[in-house]
Structure 1
Amino acid sequence: MKKFLLLFILNISSVSVFAQPIDLTQQFNGQYDFTAIGNTLNEFENQNPTCTILSQSSATLSLSTGQTLVSAKLYWSGSAVGDFDVKLNGIDVSAERTFSLVYSGKPYFAANADVTAIVETNGNGNYTFSDMDISGGLFAYCDGGTNYGGWSIIVVYEDPALLWNQISLFDGLEAVSATNNTLDIHLTNIDAKSDILAKIGFLAWEGDQQIANGESLFINNSLVSNLPLNPSNNAFNGTNSYTNSNTLYNMDLDYYELTGLIQPGDTQIDIKLTSQQDFIMVNNIITSVNSELPDATIAIDGVTVSPQLDEIYATYTVSNVNSTNVLPANTSVRFYADNVLLAEDFTNQEIPIGGTLTNLITIPIPVGTPSNFALVAVIDGDGMIPETNEGNNEYVFPIVLQYIDIEDPAANLIVCDDDNDGFQAFDLSIQTPLITQGDPNLTVTYHKTLTDAQNGDLPVVNLYVNDQRFYDAPITDSQLPGFGTGGIWARVKNSSNNEISIVPFALEVRATPVGNTPAPLRVCDDNNDGFALFNLSIVESEVLGSLNPVGFDLYYYEDFSQAIAAGDVAMTNPDFSQAISSPLNFVNTTNPQTIYILLVANASGTIPPNPNSSQGCYDIVELQLIVNDTPPITQPIDLIINDGDGDDFAIFDLTVNIPVILGSLNPANYVVSFYETEANAQNNEFVIANPAVYQNLTNPQLIYTRVENINSGCFEIASFEIEADKTISVGSFAFEDLSISPNPTSKSFTVQSSQLVSETSILIYDVQGKLLFSEKMLPQNGLVTMNVSSLENGVYFLKIASEGNTVVKKLLKN
């Protein structure tokens, strides 16, 4: 493709100009005006020897309070064959229309895309244009001083404070230059009531500030200027009238007031550009003129033929949408059978700007009218009322005259809405056996209107989406506007006699409840066998969320397929017999276990904004049941301290029991806390703040410990006794002269007492509560020595027990 373009360019005469004429592309009528933003990609005037182009540039949109965006059109251009995929604020934009011009053997391009959605989303603020890559061939243009690039957004906005205006956007790509000194552009389809606040805007490319040789701009034969930016001899000079900038290098974004330049009743504006030297391309022109014209259009909404085939009952709508004035009352509406006038009606009131009027008319069918003809409705057919568009006044509706019986409506076809937007695909074939009642001679087709059903035209596809949100009902009263439309019209043909009847029915979309997936139900296992009792109903409010519990029922299933089966027949033949019979007292069968909750609407169930009942519509959510083990702890040991002061109080290090309690459990997974009462331990309140330095309150005192798994929250409660200054009898364990030495030790230590009366156990534990060594000390010996040289350096605990009494001492190995 690149080779083709190169050969094409090389064979063009160096002075030829190929362009696309400026023509009307879009028109807006209302309380509208326009503005524009944009920027150049040139850092300097292109007469500068530097041959570069910017990769991006920005501009700011600032609509005022009360001004509402209507349209935003992006234009971009450069000295190249073209780059038609760019970005605006980082969003990809592709050209919808392109323009090209060849001058002196070199191609230039412009492009256009609708960016209304982007501007509507971003609103006022900074807009950055990027990703237009024309740098590869830029040097071919620099020698002639025609290297440029730039962009603009033409913005049309609504403002209730404005007059009624007509905004006309014209675009193309035409040029003036040293070889084509004059460019005439005729802007047609203009309707000017006055010149009040009228204006015209230009987007032009490649104009140079330094070149003003024979350059001029005429509007309706008047030489115009806009000082100080645009003198009469240099209109296209790199300026932006919207921002009062004179550094918009090699592009012009300017507007001029039309006051005194147009006259009431003008339908055309003549533009003339001249240049003896500067090469200037015009890309778009936009005008705003005060206009007050209606725009009458008509549509036939529905037609029904009388049983005697001698009258037509037609519903029609007259609109006045793309307008700047009311459509007067008594505007003529005529109906023709092909070219034969059948009836005439008149609008009975003014139709405001943007308004509509719907009427019903009875049209006689003369004898001799063909059975098939075109019913043509014409609004303002005599042209008595000037309009913004005189070419949209007719509407054609085909008519087939055939006797057809219209039956009473069939039962509604009901579906549940899978995304609750009010629209859903209907399987129309479900109605067929209900309509035919098994008669093999009847065939059924489905249609959107009575007329289509009567004529056998435009059968709809089987999976048909309703037109009206929530409830699409047929209008079966011939006296109502829209008669013969809405819902579905079934055409039933009897093959035995070729008789045809019509059976209308409504399409009802019911909202589907959407349940919230509840958090898993977790219970702690008293005996750690993996089974526990669950009350499934406690998740009801969590599943329902904002749904009214009166209108929705919950059923619990162990088998997903059973839940689905129950949901599928909930509307037609409810059966929930397979649901869990006792959800308040359910014992899991596996651990973990998934329970399937069927959430189904009952007769009272509604979900706004859908006004219909939701009865029979359902959702299924999963509930996880998890049984967690309680911590398998070891019974803690009693702590005894004799500090010799006899006051029954002492400072205890309760934490020495932690390794005993945890045993082989990983301490990282558990929190061990100490309490003064069992109730506090159960409720996890009033925890002993510093268990390593705790003074007893009574002597002896029972201490409670709570061991909680930090992952599951399951806990176990245990207790042990602490005692201070215990009085030792002759026959009791001799704590008073009990000694352990040396402590700390590196190899061995000796436990000694002269008052032993019975055998004593000496046990050594590590900090994890693991028993390492044990020895017996006899009273006749009064001492025992234990070798700990094999142990690693650290803290160990000695449990010394005799006659039912126990004391724990700390041993340091170094």
Structure 2
Amino acid sequence: MKYTIIFFLVVSQIVAQSDVPLSLRAQFNGTYDYVVIGNTHNEFDNWQVPTPECELLTQTSASLNLQPNQNIIAAYLYWSGIGDGTFDTTITFNGIDYQADEIFVGFPEPNDIVDYYSAYKNITNQVINTGNGLYNFNNLNLNPIIEDYCGAFVQYLGWHLVVVYNQTNIENKQLNVYDGFSIAFDQFNNGITPFAINNLNVVAVNDAKITYIAYNGSPNLFFNESITFNGNILSNSLNPSNNPFNGTNSFTGSNTNWNQDIDTFDVSTSINIGDTEAELILSSFSFRSIPTLITSIRSELPDATVSINQVTGQEVCGNRNLVVTYTVFNTNSNAALPSNVPVSFYVNNTLIETINTTSAIAIGGSLNLQNTISIPASFGNNFTLQILVDNSAVIASSVAESNEGNNTSNTQNITLSTALVTPIFAGVNPICSGATLSALPTISTNGISGTWSPALNNLQTTVYTFTPNAGQCASSNSLTITVNPSVTTTFSAVNPICSGATLSALPTISTNGISGTWSPALNNLQTTVYTFTPNAGQCASSTTFTITVNSLVTPTFTAVNPICSGETLSALPTISTNGISGSWSPALNNLQTTEYTFGPTTGQCASSTRLTIEIVPNLQPDFSAISLCENDTSFSLNSISPNGIVGSWLPSIVDSTTSGFYTFTPNSGQCANNQTIEITINPITLQDFEVEVSHPFSTNATITVIINSIGNYSFQLDDGSIQSSNIFQNVTSGIHSVTVYQNDGCAISITKNDILIIHYPLFFTPNGDGFNDTWTISDLFLQPNVPIYIFDRYGKLLKQISTIGNGWDGTYNGQNMPSDSYWFTVDYQFNSTSKKFSAAFALKR
């Protein structure tokens, strides 16, 4: 496992000006490496001819391109520029607005009026979530405050992102990230203090490197510039030894990164295996600012830290021997922590005892320990307790560590118990005599253990004494448990009720003030014994209570015979045959069958009863109105209606000459109404009628009936349907009969026969089957002398036949004529007038 611990290492660099010395932001021990991306907001080098416009960009970008096996662990965003960081404090990075977690401010010259700053923001989560891609830095505009910097050509702005990643296939190393606002400005010849890299144990020199990020460098203005590591001047292909601050970027290879340097140097030839420290000197006659420094060296050291888990014993009265449980860790390390590391205990920052660890702790491991520490009386009862690991009164550090600044544990504030404590117990509620009494607690609410005496007694009030167990600095205490005697509940009696009567709820508080509940539920139908159970905590006994419920008597009455609707109905009796008085409802009704309810007078314990009086509806005789022909004396009125009602008529004999009204009166005892009907005497209007037929050979043959008298008639052709129209349409050829009926009640009809409709066959089939083998106009049989002439379609006469002969057999001169249309002409008489008719017919074979 690999761990990261953030701490600060304070180092001086330049003493003539005000800066913030670089200090350790974070240390990573393990298979870690890093990459730096960023960009300048200066479009040109400040020192060039012609002099560039004094203006800073507000937006730039850079790309991150990690390999798939390089997993991001941390990402620190820095931006640095003119001013003190209070102008335009919010920047936007890939669409997310940020304000700095920390700002470092410095100025290059004593009493200078211009400031510079560097800002730090931890954006690890954003970079992990985004991963590779283009990162945009924008919305930082320092141009409104640039004027004071333009005259000396010292305006700059830029940003850089330090990304630390884990890569399992590389060697372990110690990777340190330092930040602040260090100034390299030797113009005043005040001397330079080296930057020390301590806490090393170099195990290999390969891959050792440093990276610094510097601002305000120039390839056009430089003097007395150098980077020295362990006395060796550093240089590479981008950074000459005399001009390392020249606007270059080792990660992109750019040499136009104006006024910003992101430079990496190989220092493997400047260190040796076994080195425990290194020093770095950054020097320049001109003003350069260094906000970030990164070192990566294969160093293997443990890192001892300690944490107090628990302290016990202070709660024991007068006890000064405390049991301390704690854990020693070796987390952010590249080497095991050996055994016999001193662990020192400090009370109020005074060493009182040191012990040594008993075993080594592996990389990423821990060791749980416990020791009893005696606290001298001179420290009193209130003090602080701390542990320092790898530290004793004699030796400040017995084991070289990667971080010597994190050996102190968390601080414990201790208060020793000295005064006697009174055990506290919750009061016990009074109980009723004989009730269950729970055992008293053997540990008080404030943590005192002990015993009680005497034994519990649930029959009488008793005082109990609690005696604490020895060694607790606690006093005894007493507790009284009250035992109340039981009380018998009393209630007023309830008078007997009739079955079904309303039963008032029983009181839930007795006459002597005991509250409780009754069971079972109230029953107003039968005598019941009820039990009263007092509510808990009243020390009262239960009691029983009987409520008598008298059975109801059912009143009896003599039945009332059915009556006819509308007959008089006698009043019902108000006293039953078994002596129950009361009243009836609803009011008597002699028009329809009704159920009446008898309600007994209050106080008789009698139930209501019902009596139904049937009202027989009056039947209506169902005689129909009658129509008769005048002078019809054969009709007489029936004394029994169709629905079976017997009665008599007034008048009793029908006058067959005059229409009138007749009233039927039912015989008594039948519950029937009278009925009056009208008998209509109709005159005979149908005497005779005439018939007109349409012309022979009409396409729609009709028969029209003509009646000279006014009346209501209907008409029938042959045995067909009777119709109201006097005209028959599409009548077939041949002889017919017509019947006329008078419809007004008189059963009169007249029939005329031998009505002739003349037409001709439209085709014939002379095939010898006995059907339609010849053609003639048989409907002219009453005119036997009428000749009929038959022609072919060309007008050739084929045959002359008569209306009474066999007709034409479809031959000519003994030869069968073909299937075709043929014509005929006929001269005939109609209505005493000579007529001539021609038409075609078909021969089909």
Give the TM-score range, shorter chain: 0.3 to 0.5
TM-score w.r.t. the length of structure 2 is: 0.43
TM-score normalised over the length of structure 1 = 0.45
RCO comparison, higher one (Cα < 8 Å, 6+): 1
- Give the structure with the larger helix fraction: 1
